[in-house]
Amino acid sequence: MPRFLLDVRCADLIGWWLRVECPACGGRSVELPFRLIEGRTPGLRLGDVLRGLRCRQCGVRPGRVEMVANAADRAHGRPAPGG
Ligand SMILES: [Zn+2]
């Protein structure tokens, strides 16, 4: 991820989602809306968020991190994640 992106404020990323993949949970991915992150902790920058990210299942730092415009692609044809 380009370095300058780490200084982007979450408030400027409302409408985007952060998709993080856990290397330890078999590629399990979780999507976090920046709207929610900003709502919980206003003023965070993307770098702060990434530094604090841990898998909720196993506590490992995330492997791959992607920015997605929304999670709509999940609603088309793919089964809902169980559990
Ligand atoms: Zn995990």
3-state secondary structure string, the chain? CCHHHHHCEHHHHCCCEEEEECCCCCCCEEEEEHHHHHHHCCCCEHHHHHHHCCCCCCCCCCCCEEEECCCHHHHCCCCCCCC
Between the CA of 70 and the centroid of ligand 1 the distance, in Å, is 22
Between the CA of 32 and the centroid of ligand 1 the distance, in Å, is 15
pLDDT in tens, 34-78: 999 999 999 999 999 999 999 888 999 988 899 998 755 554 545
Instruction: Give the start-to-end residue ranges of the domains of the chain.
Output: 3-72
Please report the pLDDT score of residue 12 as a whole number. Answer: 94
Say whether pLDDT at 7 is over 90: yes
The single residue listed with the structure tokens 């920058």 is 45
Please report the pLDDT score of residue 1 as a whole number. Answer: 63
